[in-house]
């Protein structure tokens, strides 16, 4: 088994674990983290395919695609976390102030 094939297998495993966790959890922050894990699996697969195609030189288009995907993932993750924060604040306001135990 070559190194590229091993990376493809690990990338598929990361994607499957991330996608399964995203579908099975109810917490929004954990869903965002699971989506990032699945995305990392996709990036690993794409980078592995760039080296499998031609052993002498890797494909620069796939490298540029992965780099662009990483930038977009960071931006979307920040936006999603800001939305989650706002959703949780709204839920706290709607539920009303908590009664003190004292």
**Per-residue model confidence (pLDDT) at position 99:** 64
**Is residue 100 one of the residues assigned to a domain?**
no
pLDDT in tens, 46-88: 998 887 655 677 778 888 999 999 999 999 999 999 999 999 8
**Is residue 49 one of the residues assigned to a domain?**
yes
Count of domains observed in the chain: 1
Boundaries of domain holding 21: 3-94
**Is residue 73 one of the residues assigned to a domain?**
yes
Of residues 4, 102, 101, the one with CA closest to residue 50: 4
Give the CA distances from residue 51 to residues 30, 34, 61, 75, in Å, rounded to whole numbers and listed in that order.
32, 26, 12, 27
Q: Residue 45 sits in a domain of what CATH number? A: 1.10.287
pLDDT in tens, 18-33: 999 999 999 999 999 9
């Amino acid at each position: 088994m070559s190194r590229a094939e091993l990376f493809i297998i690990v990338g598929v495993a990361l994607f499957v674990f991330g996608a399964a966790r995203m579908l099975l959890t109810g917490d929004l922050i954990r869903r965002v983290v699971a989506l990032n894990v699945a995305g990392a699996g996709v990036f690993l697969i794409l980078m592995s395919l760039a080296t499998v195609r031609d052993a002498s030189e890797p494909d620069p288009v796939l490298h540029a695609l992965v780099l662009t995907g990483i930038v977009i993932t960071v931006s979307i993750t920040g936006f999603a976390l800001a939305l989650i924060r706002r959703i949780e604040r709204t839920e706290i306001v709607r539920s009303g102030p908590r009664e003190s135990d004292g």
